[in-house]
Amino acid sequence: MGIAPLWRLRSTGAAEGGPSPSRLDSGLASGTVGQAPVPGTAAGDWDELDRQVAACQACVLCRQRKQAVLGVGDREADWLFIGEGPGAEEDAQGEPFVGQAGKLLDAMLAGIDLRRGEGVYIANAVKCRPPGNRTPEAEEMNACRPFLERQIELLRPRIIVLLGRSAACTLLGADRALASLRGRSHDYRGIPVIVTYHPAYLLRNLPEKAKAWEDLLLARRVAREAAAEGQLPL
């Protein structure tokens, strides 16, 4: 099918705006946040969701953001990729994955014949930039989860790919090592879910690139099986 691991690392340095090693390794230990009210179940259409997220002050991440970053891409997409949270460049530009990690994600998409914006939607577990690009706290991810859930309801994707442990924790509720979640299909409300590494992590851990490639191939296979079965999620 002409598929090849086209995605090559264009930088071996730390990903700008991506999770730092401490973000990836620090887990989801609770901090001092969580005193803000948790939003109710998000509702409404995309425009309403845009407005709700832009105005949201439900967790402390609203304090230092330049703007909330809802997501980007095809709102009729079959594929939904979910990362962790906006970094500095994403916060400035209002789009997820625009730094070096974003370039790698685009290359990963190309490796399985996908392109940003064409049948693909990209979002994050939290919509506002954690200060210093730290890992979002559990309370912050919980506060933001209704927005992510509403995005999924509106998108009705055929498959979801979770990029990194934070995304896996927030959507699957699995507070486990990422390695233990890879290699099989999970389920979110009838939608198959594949877990792989965050591109920012891959920029710093080149040997894991082969594993991420395996995950993408698994995701493509699962998506094709779902399409063949005429599976309609949600």
Q: Please state the closest distance from residue 188 (CB atom) to ligand SF4, in A.
A: 19
**Residue whose CB is less far from ligand SF4, 58 or 122:** 58
Binding mask 114-153 toward ligand SF4 (x if CB under 6 A, else -) reads ------------xxx-----------x--xx---------
**Residue whose CB is less far from ligand SF4, 36 or 107:** 36
Q: Which two tokens stand for residue 50?
A: 């845009």
C-alpha distances in Å from residue 66, one per residue of 55, 63, 94, 144: 12, 9, 9, 17
Of 210, 111, 117, 215, the residue nearest 163 (C-alpha): 215
Tell me the sheet residues that pair with 187.
192
Size of the site for ligand SF4 (CB under 6 A): 14
What part of residues 17-76 is at the interface with ligand SF4 (CB under 6 A)? Answer: 53, 56-59, 61-62, 68
Of 40, 50, 60, 64, the residue nearest 139 (C-alpha): 60
**Residue whose CB is less far from ligand SF4, 19 or 111:** 19
- Rounded to a whole number, what is the distance in angstroms from the first to the last CA of the chain? 30
Q: Report the interface residues with ligand SF4, using CB under 6 A.
A: 53, 56-59, 61-62, 68, 126-128, 140, 143-144
